Amino acid sequence: MEEILMGTYDIIVIGAGHAGCEAALACARMGSKTLLFSINLEAIAMMPCNPSIGGTGKGHLVREIDALGGEMGRNIDKTFIQSKMLNTAKGPAVHSLRAQADKHKYHDQDIWAYTGSGIEERKQEQTIYY
């Protein structure tokens, strides 16, 4: 087990799901030395069985992340298989776009976002608090 000393990194992000990836990338883009921990390095930014982004709730969140310079919106634009406008029988206030992605291409695209960003990826095996 490798020991990481305090002060080696400015920021350590534990968990490499969508939120962890966005947080680590934002920190690295601000110039912070960032470490991203994941239980499985092959599962960084891996989408679930139903690999879709959008809809009435998550679509709003994705637009906010995109406005702040995040990668989720860019990655779905590059990897989507199909998209659909939801709630078209209702009024325009509740219309929302949902896109389904190729989950393996999305994963690969998200990993490429980190190239040259200064983020190091490590497998988290054990956490010991002092």
Instruction: Write the DSSP string, 52-74.
Output: EEEHHHHHHHHHHHHHTT-SHHH
What is the reported pLDDT for 81?
93
Q: What is the distance between the alpha carbons of residues 62 and 76, in angstroms, rounded to a whole number?
A: 10
For 62-112, write each residue's pLDDT tens digit: 888 888 888 888 888 888 899 999 999 999 988 999 999 888 888 777 666
- Give me the residue label for tokens 């350590």: 12
Instruction: Please state, in angstroms and as integers, the Cα–Cα distance from residue 28 to each residue in 21, 62, 78, 98, 120, following that order.
Output: 11, 20, 22, 29, 10
What is the reported pLDDT for 87?
93
What is the reported pLDDT for 49?
77
Task: Assess whether pLDDT exceeds 60 at residue 130.
Answer: no
Query: Which of 20-29, 41-50, 64-73 is predicted least confidently?
Result: 41-50
What is the reported pLDDT for 51?
84
Based on its alpha-carbon atoms, the radius of gyration of the chain, rounded to whole angstroms, reads 17
